[in-house]
Amino acid sequence: GSCRHRCCPGRNNACWAPGARRAHCYCDSYCQRTGDCCQDYHATCRRAAVGCAVGPWGPWSGCSSPCGVGSRARSRQVTVPPRHGGDPCPDLKQRRGCLGQHPTCGTAK
């Protein structure tokens, strides 16, 4: 089978070509995980692949809890989305623990 005429992103069961012994071979980027790519998939489809690119991390947010255990978060944006089976995007959000220590913590009214 050949991917000469089409390459599909993601998992697409309609993106196949007739292969050896009446089996289908696939031209979607998911075929790399399942191992059922057409023999020319890499030469034909990966040449046109564009991997994801992301911008820098933004600043960490303030602690979600003014007193005690909470969390902080930060994010980044996709600058170039993946196309034609290119590398997927990495995580766009991160979270970490923090301890809120506002000056009013521990003062009972």
Residue 84: the pLDDT is 67
3 and 22 within one domain: yes
Query: How many separate domains does the chain show?
Result: 2
32 and 66 within one domain: no
41 and 83 within one domain: no
CA angle 27, 45, 6 (to 5 degrees): 55
Residue 108: the pLDDT is 53
Residue identified by tokens 């031209």 is: 27
Pull the structure tokens for residue 107: 């003062």
Contact by Cβ (8 Å): 25, 37: yes
Full-model pTM: 0.54
Contact by Cβ (8 Å): 78, 53: yes
Residue 109: the pLDDT is 46
Domain that holds residue 62: 54-108
Residue 104: the pLDDT is 84
Cα distance between residue 92 and residue 97, in whole Å: 17
Which 3 state secondary structure label does DSSP give 66?
A: coil
Q: Which residues of the chain have pLDDT under 50?
A: 109
Kindly report the CATH number assigned to the domain that includes residue 61: 2.20.100.10
